[in-house]
Amino acid sequence: MIRFPRALTGIATSLALLTAPAQALDLTAMSDAERAVFRAEVRAYLLDNPEVIIEAVTLLEERQAEAEAMQDEELVATNLEELHNDGFSWVGGNPDGDITLVEFMDYRCGYCRRAATDVTQLLAEDGNIKLIIKEFPILGDASVISSRFAIATRLVAGGDAYKQVHDALIEFTGEPNEMVLRRLAEGLGLDADAILAMMNDTAVNHELAQNRALAQRLKISGTPTFVMQDELLRGYLPANQMSIIAADIRDQRG
C-alpha cells in the first residue's frame, strides 16, 4: 500500500470535503485535526481567489433584492385599494391615466422638494399618469403643521386650493407658524380663519392617521416614497428613471 505524507492526506481530505455534495459535508463529524486542515484549506483558497468573496456578496445582495422586491409586490397588492381609492387624498395629473403614481411626501424633506420638480416634469411629458399625494409628515412638528394646513385647505377650499398651498409649502423653508400660514392663505385669496380652525379637526386627524397606518403596512419609513402602479419605489428618483419604469409597466401589459 502506498503511503502519502500526512500533509498531503489532509489536503486531499479538505478538497474532497470542498467538492462533496452539500448534504455530505458534516463539520460536526470531523476530528479537530480534520477541521483545522479544512479551515486552513478554505482560507488558502479564498486568499488565492479573493474574487470569490466579491461574487458571493454580489449574489447575496441580488437574492436579497429579489426577495425584497417580491415582498414589496405583495405589500402593494394587499393595500392597492387604499393606495388608489382612499376617498380623501388629492388627485392630480390625468385622472383617467393608465398608470397611477402615489407619492408619500413630507414638506420638510429636501428630496421631496427635488422630487416635486421631477414629478411635474414626468406628468407634463407623459400626460397619461394619475398622481395621488399622500401627506406623510415624519420630520417633526413643522412637518405635521404643514400637512395639517394643506389638508385643512383641501377640506375648506377644495383641490385646486390644495395644489396651490402644496406647491407653496414644498418650496417654503422657514417655520410654518400661524402668522406665516395666515399670510400664505390670504395671499392666495383663501379664508385663512376657516383653514386655521380646520387644522385640528377630526377629519384631518383621521387622514394623517390613515396615511401613517398605510405607510407602516407598506414598511415605508422615509420620504419620498412612490408607488407606481404596483411597484414600490423607495427614495428619490429623477423624472427620466420614473419614465423608464412607466414604459416598462406598459410593455409588461403587452
pTM, 2 dp: 0.75
Q: Tell me how many degrees the CA angle 168-181-192 measures, rounded to the nearest 5.
A: 110
- List Cβ neighbours of 22 (8 Å cut-off, separation of 6 or more): none
| pLDDT tens track for 229-250 | 999 999 999 999 999 999 999 9
Taking residue 94's Cβ as centre, other Cβ atoms within 10 Å add up to 16
Q: Give the pLDDT band (50/70/90) at residue 50.
A: confident
| pLDDT tens track for 75-101 | 999 999 999 999 999 999 999 999 999
Task: Look up the CATH number of domain 71-253.
Answer: 3.40.30.10
Task: Pick left, alpha or beta for residue 158 (phi over 0 → left; psi -120 to 50 → alpha; otherwise beta).
Answer: left
Q: Give the pLDDT band (50/70/90) at residue 21.
A: low
